[in-house]
Amino acid sequence: MNDTPKFGTAGLSDSYTAKGFDPQKIAAYTASFGLTAFEYQCGRGVRLAHDKAQALGKAAAAQGIALSVHAPYYISMSGLDDEKRLHSVDYLLQSCALVKALGGRRVVFHPGSCGKQSREAALEKALDTMRRAVAACDEAGYGDCILCPETMGKINQLGTVDEVLALCAVDARITPCIDFGHIYARSGGTELTDTASYAALLDKLGDALGDDRAVHFHAHFSRIAYTAGGEKCHLTFADTAYGPPHAPLLQLLKQRKLAPTVICESAGTQAEDAQKLAAAFAAL
């Protein structure tokens, strides 16, 4: 595998002005920033036709760009309604089918929320859903896909680092999506502010996973504003009132020879800010 991080974007920046779905232009635009990853957004449903996905996959591969998929936002692995909860498995299967058409492997998803149940009960439901999802993926021929539960930014959501690592323990293929901005916002700006805090997080990943997933994990990065409830909104790198800072993270990735895929989720400037991440890492 690639022994250096991949940097890319969640969807397209506001500076992308081409009209319609043009795989060649999307790939060329992404490559023009020196980026090597792109996360196709399916937050409101998996709607991209597979022939179009294959065309995008071919264009991206020609530019050396790895593709992943963000599954629908309405996935709830921990939902109290069992019928709705188990529909989450169907949404993951749809996302796996799309990522395979794109020529990628990684499917990022939000674990869900706690709702009117305890965190422990929510996690137990999510673990059951996760086991069912793995079995369904294997049965459908998607065993080579990598499901990536994401750390979440709001306090009432399921998705602390420990909860995500518990989901990853269900199967050795499940790889965490560490959203650094979400962790920062969820902590009220007390975590991921310096090298020591980032190092403690990376240590925890290494201890819990103990394998290649701690080296080639998936990640999201952006500055995020927060309230008492956690995440409020995504910002740009020009918005410096909130963190987290990226320099300490990049230094640790370099020192520890870690090679995650880092997807920038800045608000409208994700390509420009991902380029800054890639340039800052290359300068180390």
User: Do 35 and 167 reside in the same domain of the chain?
Assistant: yes
Q: What does each C-alpha distance from 98 to 101, 112, 131, 187 come to in angstroms?
A: 5, 21, 21, 34
Q: For residue 106, what are the β-bridge partners?
A: 68, 146
Estimate the crossing angle of helix 119-140 against helix 82-102, to 10 degrees.
Answer: 50
In a domain, 12, yes or no: no
In a domain, 40, yes or no: yes
Domain of 95 in residue numbering reads as 17-175
What CATH number did the domain enclosing 119 receive? 3.20.20.150
DSSP state of 246: S
User: Do 72 and 101 reside in the same domain of the chain?
Assistant: yes
User: Do 21 and 121 reside in the same domain of the chain?
Assistant: yes
In a domain, 188, yes or no: no
Structural domains counted in the chain: 2
pTM for this predicted structure: 0.97
**Contact, 191 vs 179, CB < 8 A?**
no
The domain boundary, picked from 110, 142, 175, lies at 175
User: Do 38 and 164 reside in the same domain of the chain?
Assistant: yes
Per residue of the chain (284 residues), give pLDDT as tens. Answer: 458 999 999 999 999 999 999 999 999 999 999 999 999 999 999 999 999 999 999 999 999 999 999 999 999 999 999 999 999 999 999 999 999 999 999 999 999 999 999 999 999 999 999 999 999 999 999 999 999 999 999 999 999 999 999 999 999 999 999 999 999 999 999 999 999 999 999 999 999 999 999 999 999 999 999 999 999 999 999 999 999 999 999 999 999 999 999 999 999 999 999 999 999 999 99
Q: In angstroms, how far is CA 131 from the centroid of its own chain?
A: 20
